[in-house]
Amino acid sequence: MASHRKPRSRIPAPLTGHSRRTAVGFTTAALASVTLLSQSANAAPADPKPAAQSIEKVKEKVDTLYHQAETATQRYNAAKERTEQQRGKVDKLLDSVAQRTEKLNEARRTLGTYAAAQYRDGGMARSAATLLFSNDPQDVFDQSHLMDRMTGRQKQAVDDFQTQRTKAAKERGKAAESLASLTASQKQLKVQKKTVQDKLTEARRLLANLTAKEKARLAAIEKKKAEEARRKAAALAEKQRQETAARKKQQEQNGDSGSGSTAPSAPADSSKAAQAIAFAKAQLGKPYVWGATGPSSFDCSGLTQAAWKSAGISLPRTTWDQVKAGTRVSTSQLQPGDLVFFYDDISHVGLYIGDGMMIHAPKPGDVVKKAPITEMPIYGSVRPS
């Protein structure tokens, strides 16, 4: 007889020691693999660039910010100069308006005296003063009628009043226009000041975030750049000496024949150039401050302006105007005292002192010092006169 008992389910045998170790080992390996994959994924975004490239990038940004700040400084200098000129013009106009107003009031008092007399003596229905002081075109006929009844002195008083009133109105209009122009210049001055401050703040922030090691690397890059500029300046100075000697020899060979070519540029006034250089040397070590013209600090164009002022020659305030104040000369024909301008936007200037060197006020955080003219791209040069 068949059994109706259900077959019992097979229960897996417990893991033996060997099997248990095999399972644990597999699990540990799997976990280790997941951990390694996780670490690899987290490490993937790391910046592979070396520190040297990062420092050079920072230097490039800082140099750009300083250049932009110097360009904005020249705009600030121009706006400040316009503001000062406009303020002087407004002050003069306001003084003139005050004087003209006093003359107008005097004419009004004189005319009032005559008008009152006319009213008393003539019994006019309307006051003469009301007619004469009116701007209403409808009163012109009545004014003309009243003028016919006046004496010569009274007519002169009326003419004087009307003249003074017209002039006062014109001068008030000029003063209003000048005040509006002054307000616009002051706004532009404020904008350029903020631009300079923002650029310098960003440059200082970038430098402040560098570690001591990164700052040392940056200093090394700057030193290498300065050495290269000095080598180029020495080569330029040697080329200048050779060209000068060649020109002198050519002049000697030409003798008195008069067949020699004329000099391409006027010679510098050595005494005045020497005075300008002496002034600049006396400023060595003084801090660069944007917008400053001395005596305790300077920006680049403030220094060159002050240097030539000491020699009796007045230069404009900005680099953009100084580059027009004199005779243009080539780099190969530079003489001590010449002004050397830099960058395509003519945002920097230095005073040439010979041998490929200049004295200039470089940038914020630096001081007035000697430097090779080859450390920046040269735009052109000018000999003040």
DSSP string, 103-115: HHHHHHHHHHHHH
Q: Is 4 among the catalytic positions?
A: no
Q: Which residues in 57-87 are b (16+ Cβ under 10 Å) and which e?
A: ebbeebeebbbbbbbbbbbbbbbbbbbeebe
> Which listed residue (4, 18, 67, 300) is catalytic?
300
pLDDT mean values, one per 10 residues, the chain (385 residues): 45 42 41 40 45 76 92 91 82 79 77 67 49 52 52 68 77 79 84 91 91 91 92 91 86 65 60 96 97 96 98 96 95 95 97 96 95 96 94
Q: How far apart are CA 146 and CA 162, in angstroms?
A: 15
Q: How far is residue 280 from each of residues 275, 294, 343, 351, 370, measured CA to CA in Å?
A: 9, 11, 22, 8, 10
The angle subtended at Cα 239 by Cα 304 and Cα 354, nearest 5°, is 25
Would you call 145 a catalytic residue per the annotation? Answer: no
Backbone phi, then psi, for 358, in 5-degree steps? -140, 165
Closest CA to 362 of 351, 374, 348: 348
What is the pTM assigned to this prediction? 0.65
Residue 5's pLDDT is what?
A: 45
C-alpha distance from residue 15 to each of 29, 30, 31, 179, 217 (Å) = 19, 20, 21, 100, 64
CA nearest neighbour of 377 among 345, 333, 354: 345
Handedness of CA 85, 88, 94, 95 (dihedral sign): negative
User: Does 295 sit behind a cis peptide bond, omega within 30 degrees of 0 on the bond before it?
Assistant: yes
Place of tokens 């008083």: 157
In this structure, what DSSP letter does residue 331 have?
G
CA atoms of 340 and 66, how far apart (whole Å): 19
Region class of 316: left (phi > 0), else alpha (psi between -120 and 50), else beta: beta
Res 134: pLDDT: 55
